[in-house]
């Protein structure tokens, strides 16, 4: 699997509705949308792909899913069966730009959701920041997304954001309000 994943984290957590509104405002500033202009997400089978957010719960040993325009209104984080909220941002041509998810893995030692607040948001991109010399066509979109992720870290008032290579797990960058920063010098200077 090629790409880069980023874990955006808060020590004290953040409420779901403000998190979603900040991501939506960020998207608007960058001409990104929650849905492609066709009004349907690519790759989803009917009846799915018509609303921007997917919400999942683990109930009775199976996944229960709904799509929503406003998952915060469903108050899913207070439900002990909460499993995941996922959504994407698309560019003006309808091309996938960022993927986001809040996933509560019952087996994970560190939880993404604690006491109804988000402590970890996953963001993913297709570009592999560590191999830009190999995938030359990814250089410009990767630069743009790296700088946007850095901006989003500030917009979300997060404590840390760590980006890693999907194939190797190697840490590529770390934005932090305290502690060590790890920057991608080849992208920072561009």
Note the pLDDT tens digit of each residue in 10-50. 999 999 999 999 999 999 999 999 998 888 888 888 888 89
pLDDT at 42: 82
What does the alpha-carbon distance between residue 26 and residue 32 come to, in Å, rounded to a whole number?
8
Average pLDDT of the residues of the chain: 89
Indicate the burial class of 176 (C-beta count within 10 angstroms; 0-12, 13-18, 19 or more).
Answer: middle
Question: For residue range 116-149, what is the model confidence (pLDDT) as tens digits?
Answer: 999 999 999 988 777 655 566 777 888 899 999 9
- DSSP 8-class letter at 80: T
- DSSP 8-class letter at 44: P
What does the alpha-carbon distance between residue 106 and residue 52 come to, in Å, rounded to a whole number?
25
Question: For residue range 60-92, what is the model confidence (pLDDT) as tens digits?
Answer: 889 999 999 999 999 999 999 999 999 999 998
């Amino acid at each position: 699997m090629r790409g880069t994943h980023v874990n955006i984290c808060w020590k004290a957590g953040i409420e779901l509705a403000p998190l979603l509104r900040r991501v939506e405002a960020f998207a608007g500033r960058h001409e990104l949308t929650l849905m492609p202009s066709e009004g349907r997400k690519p790759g989803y089978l009917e009846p799915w792909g018509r609303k921007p957010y997917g919400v999942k719960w683990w109930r009775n040993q199976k996944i229960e899913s709904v799509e929503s325009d406003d998952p915060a209104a469903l108050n899913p984080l207070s439900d002990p069966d909460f499993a995941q909220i996922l959504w994407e941002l698309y560019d003006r041509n309808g091309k996938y730009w960022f993927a986001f998810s809040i996933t509560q893995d019952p087996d994970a030692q560190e939880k993404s959701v604690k006491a109804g607040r988000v402590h970890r948001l996953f963001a993913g991109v297709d570009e592999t920041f560590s191999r830009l010399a190999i995938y030359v066509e990814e250089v410009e979109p990767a630069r743009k997304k790296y700088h946007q992720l850095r901006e989003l870290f500030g917009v979300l008032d997060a404590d840390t954001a760590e980006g890693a290579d999907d194939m190797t797990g190697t840490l590529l960058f770390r934005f932090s309000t305290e502690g060590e920063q790890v920057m991608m010098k080849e992208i920072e200077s561009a």
